[in-house]
Amino acid sequence: MNLSDVTIGITAFLRPGYLRNAIETVGVSFPECELAIADDSGYPYSGHPGKWKTSIVLPFDSGLCRKRNALVAATDTKYFLLGSDDFVFDQEARKGVEAMLLVLKTDPTIDVACGRVNNKPYEGFLEYVPGSHIRETRFELETRFGLTNDSRVWYDVDITANYFLARTETIVPWQDELKIGGEHALWFLRMGQAGRRFVWVPGVNINTATGLEQDSRYIGFRRRAFDGHNRMKQILDIKDYIDFNGHKS
């Protein structure tokens, strides 16, 4: 399947080795795709420039949401694939993108086709009660429909992992102020409130790389996710967020 209508958007921060690997794997497995990179590391990527449409350099630590919004704004293809600098865009990933694209082309009422990261289940539903809570409920494929790993079948959900193929024109912006943490549930909830339809596509997966070059400051910045989570709760006026495992935060 030709994927020339797909832009792969990659957010990058303080992990030059991971970004280099992501760019190289895109070049091998997705040669016809547009590639857009948004980086707020504070220094330019020093590897081989490769072939990409857009390289967006944002001020240091602009945050994940600003980078995603910049990528979408720079996309002029019909479809946008959300990526990260630690993703491995190999042939398994390509098969998954082809499956998600087929879903979107088959059913025009679907706005976002979603997969998994490292094959970790993270698809389900959101119960939002303003002034009280958000509760995640896991999608149980085995009990609801019978076990299948067939990407020709898909299921409506409210939230998945941050790996999906979307119709570019239907994407609702992320909350710019959230640098990390809290942006995940907030975006899925707002997309749902805007009438966007999500489906999870079984068998679609992308893996992450490990052990590559990263700045020593990266972990410290990553640990701020708790602050973003609390800000999300303020924005949505909730006291508790209850995750798939029943943990309350």
Mean pLDDT calculated for residue range 61-80: 97
* Residue 63 pLDDT exceeds 90: yes
CATH of 6-242, one of 3.90.226.10, 3.90.550.10, 3.40.50.150, 3.10.180.10: 3.90.550.10
Mean pLDDT score of the chain, rounded to an integer? 92
Q: Among 53, 47, 40, 51, which residue's Cα sits nearest to residue 11? A: 40
* pLDDT tens string 107-129: 999 999 999 999 999 999 999 99
pLDDT of 153: 83
* Dihedral sign of CA atoms 52, 54, 59, 63 in order: negative
* pLDDT tens string 229-248: 999 999 999 999 999 999 99
* Residue 48 pLDDT exceeds 80: no
Global pTM? Answer: 0.93
Could you tell me the pLDDT band of residue 55, with boundaries at 50, 70 and 90? confident
Backbone torsion region of residue 169, taken as left when φ is above 0, otherwise alpha when ψ lies between -120 and 50, otherwise beta: alpha
Phi–psi pair at 76, nearest 5 degrees: -120, 10
pLDDT of 210: 97
Pairing mode of beta strands 34-39, 54-57: parallel
pLDDT of 106: 95
Q: Where are the domains of the chain?
A: 6-242
* Residue 136 pLDDT exceeds 60: yes
Query: Of 50-59, 83-92, 200-209, which range is least confident?
Result: 50-59
Mean pLDDT calculated for residue range 133-157: 75
**How far is residue 215 from each of residues 8, 18, 212, 222, measured CA to CA in Å?**
24, 11, 10, 12
* Residue 143 pLDDT exceeds 70: no
pLDDT of 54: 76
* pLDDT tens string 173-227: 999 999 999 999 999 999 999 999 999 999 999 999 999 999 999 999 999 999 9
* CA separation for the pair 243, 249 (Å, rounded): 8
* CA separation for the pair 202, 194 (Å, rounded): 25
Query: Of 46-55, 160-169, 234-243, which range is least confident?
Result: 46-55
